[in-house]
């Protein structure tokens, strides 16, 4: 039986978790959130956050498209985004790196130069790691962070009646990737969104005290809505026409024969934040000058997880990037 036969990445994770202990009195949140939350060890009373992400050549990046510096930036950003989604701030980073034996020293130095730029931007300190050889470049980062208990956001706290909001346009990274895959030259904005994305650490900690559930959009809006609903035991109603997208993403869809909505729902690597929030608290964000877009509502589980398409039809919200499927 192949991994795809059981449903791909997330079904595999569930099966693997059953093989090892994953409960401890200090583990406040473990597998199933953007980062693990460990309590009881920080002197200032904050919780320790721990996240890890792996980037593999020709799966998450291509060396003929991206410079090593760009790859370094992206590898840090995808981890910082997880900390932002928990309402926290990043602190220390550990990097494990596999390189082919013939790798030039200058390439590796440029990779770390990109990591350094991203670390300085987000206040991260490189604290250690490991280096070995391998057939493909593989970058595995473990990032620590901290969060005040009152700011902690989990995927499991969404409530029926909450608005579902996002912090910015979706689908631009996927649009840039689609154009590059088709041999087209994407506009600079789309190219940068794919090769050197940013994340929303600028607003995550400010949203966190008001949000109920939060997650970063790394696998596409559809996947992230489903994750929140599964962990919270709720349904959702998403309105396709309300999903923010950059006009250039629509142009990329036209040029590549793609559906622009698919870029937003299933493309991934936007690194915006999706969160649920009570309507009255949504108004507080506006008063504070935090610009977000409401894309739907949290509903009871019995209502299902649905999307209303531009033609008015409602269908099950499915999709999102999934390794192995």
Q: Residue 161 and residue 145: Cα distance in Å, rounded? A: 31
For the residues of 160-204, what is the DSSP string, one character each?
TT-EEEESS--SHHHHHHHHHHTT----HHHHHHHHS----TTTH
Token representation of residue 270: 């936007």
Tokens 């600079």 correspond to 188
Residue (of 257, 182, 177, 185) closest to 220 by Cα position: 177
221: enclosing H helix or E strand: helix 221-232
Options 3.90.650.10, 3.30.200.20, 3.30.70.20, 3.30.70.890; CATH of 153-316: 3.90.650.10
CB 290 within 8 A of CB 190: no
Token representation of residue 224: 């992230």
Say whether 229 sits in a helix, a strand or coil.
helix
CB 233 within 8 A of CB 227: no
Q: Where are the domains of the chain?
A: 8-150, 153-316
| CATH no. for 8-150 | 3.30.1330.10
CB 268 within 8 A of CB 174: yes
pTM exceeds 0.85, yes or no: yes
| pLDDT value of position 322 | 53
Token representation of residue 250: 């629509």
Token representation of residue 284: 């507080």
Average model confidence (pLDDT) across the chain = 94
Q: Residue 37 and residue 34: Cα distance in Å, rounded? A: 9
CB count in 10 Å sphere of residue 132:
9
Helix axes 188-195, 247-256, angle to 10 degrees: 90
Kindly state the average pLDDT of the residues 162-190: 97
Residues with Cβ < 8 Å from 10, sequence gap 6 or more? 322
Say whether 56 sits in a helix, a strand or coil.
strand
pLDDT at 48 over 60: yes
pLDDT, one tens digit per residue, over 69-110 is 999 999 999 999 999 999 999 999 999 999 999 999 999 999
Q: Residue 116 and residue 314: Cα distance in Å, rounded? A: 46
Strands 138-147 and 125-133: unpaired
Q: Residue 239 and residue 264: Cα distance in Å, rounded? A: 12
| pLDDT value of position 239 | 98
pLDDT, one tens digit per residue, over 234-254 is 999 999 999 999 999 999 999
pLDDT at 324 over 50: no
Q: CA-based angle 35:60:15, to the nearest 5?
A: 50
- From residue 53, alpha-carbon distances to 68, 98, 141, 312 in Å are 18, 14, 6, 38
Helix axes 68-85, 105-122, angle to 10 degrees: 30
pLDDT, one tens digit per residue, over 105-130 is 999 999 999 999 999 999 999 999 99
């Amino acid at each position: 039986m192949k991994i795809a036969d059981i449903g791909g990445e997330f079904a595999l994770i569930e099966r693997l978790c059953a093989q090892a202990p994953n409960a401890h009195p200090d583990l406040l949140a473990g597998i199933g959130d953007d980062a693990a939350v460990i309590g009881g060890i920080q002197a200032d009373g904050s919780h320790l956050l721990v996240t890890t992400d792996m980037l593999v050549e020709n799966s998450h990046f291509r060396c003929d498209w991206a410079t090593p510096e760009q790859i370094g930036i992206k590898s840090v950003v995808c981890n910082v985004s997880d900390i932002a989604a928990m309402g926290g701030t990043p602190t220390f980073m550990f990097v494990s790196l596999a390189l082919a034996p013939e790798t030039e020293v200058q390439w590796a130095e440029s990779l770390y130069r990109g990591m350094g730029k991203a670390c300085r931007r987000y206040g991260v300190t490189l604290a250690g790691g490991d280096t070995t050889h391998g057939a493909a470049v593989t970058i595995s980062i473990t990032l620590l962070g901290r969060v005040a208990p009152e700011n902690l956001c989990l995927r499991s706290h969404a409530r029926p009646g909450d608005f579902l909001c996002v912090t910015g346009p979706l689908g631009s990274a996927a649009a840039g990737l689609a154009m590059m895959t088709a041999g087209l030259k994407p506009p600079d904005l789309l190219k940068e969104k794919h090769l050197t994305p940013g994340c929303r650490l600028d607003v995550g900690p400010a949203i966190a005290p008001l949000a109920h559930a939060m997650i970063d959009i790394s696998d596409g809006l559809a996947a992230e809505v489903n994750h929140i609903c599964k962990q919270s035991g709720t349904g959702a109603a998403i309105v396709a026409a309300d999903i923010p997208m950059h006009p250039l993403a629509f142009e990329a869809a036209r040029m590549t024969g793609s559906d622009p909505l698919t870029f937003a729902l299933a493309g991934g690597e936007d690194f915006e934040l999706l969160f649920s929030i009570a309507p009255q608290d949504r108004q507080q964000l506006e008063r504070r000058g935090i610009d977000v877009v409401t894309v739907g509502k949290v509903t009871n589980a019995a209502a299902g997880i649905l999307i209303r398409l531009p033609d008015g039809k409602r269908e099950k919200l499915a999709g999102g990037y999934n390794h192995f499927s």
